[in-house]
Homo-oligomer: A and B are copies of this chain.
Amino acid sequence: MTDESSALAGPSALTLTAPVEDYLKAIYDIQQGGGAATTNALAERLALAPASVSGMVRRLAIQGLLEHEPYRGARLTAAGRTAALRTLRRHRILESYLATVLGVPWDDVHAEAEQLEHAASDALVDRMAHALGDPRFDPHGAPIPTRDGVVDETWHTTLAEWPVGTLGTVMSVSDKDAVMLRYLGDLELRPGAMIQVHARAPYDGPIDVLVGTQLRQIGPTAARAVRIAAVA
């Protein structure tokens, strides 16, 4: 059933525990954001004590999933990246399936998928993907890695930095915070929405932005959770 030869379902993947998958996913995520996967950054993202992260990072380095320079942070190896992408694929397909087919509210799917991603088999995830027509993006606009570990890693500017006047379209919104997600949804700031920044107050002040036909004011924190690309 499972394709053992595909890049995202290697034999070593069978032994990864749920915490390990979470660490790898978090490191991938931080690196993707351009930052260094430092001990404190990981501890905060995973809601763990730094001491715990220190220990786990050492173990993962020994297992060859990442490289660790003491006091410098962790970098995923090829094996670690593959494992992270496999988990990411499960997560995002689950999110898509739950939202699209089962009608789970879009601010709940992240937490639900967070649990299921460690339990669902590759075969099941592939079935879900197939039922959805192999989507390339999840409900929050995040790209879904293929079974072969290919993923669109294009970096997009956040709404907080989008130039005033330029027309843009929402590419993705962060799914980490359910409350913010509900807020952004209420503002119609979903993937695909057209936006145009009218004004930005200085010193990290509020942003006047046209979302579709509605003029909204949003703060910088929320704006940083929204990623924008130019209209084609």
Contacts and interface: CB of A to CB of B under 8 A. Distances in A.
Interface of A: 1, 98, 101-104, 108, 112, 115-116, 118-121, 123-124, 127-128, 131
A112 B118 CA distance: 12
A119 B116 contact: yes
A115 B116 CA distance: 9
B124 A98 contact: yes
B102 A112 contact: no
A124 B108 CA distance: 10
A127 B103 contact: yes
A144 B104 CA distance: 22
Counting every copy of the chain, the complex holds 2
A205 B91 CA distance: 50
Nearest to A1: B108
Contact of A121 (B1, B112, B127, B128): B112
A130 to B, nearest CB: 9
A55 to B, nearest CB: 21
Nearest to A18: B119
Contacts of A103: 127
B102 A127 contact: yes
A103 to B, nearest CB: 7
Given A1-B108, A131-B102, A120 B124 contact: no
Contacts of A131: 102
A124 B115 CA distance: 12
Nearest to A120: B116
B112 A128 contact: no
A9 B228 CA distance: 41
Contacts of A127: 102-104
A139 B115 CA distance: 25
Contacts of A102: 124, 127-128, 131
Contacts of A104: 123-124, 127
Nearest to A118: B119
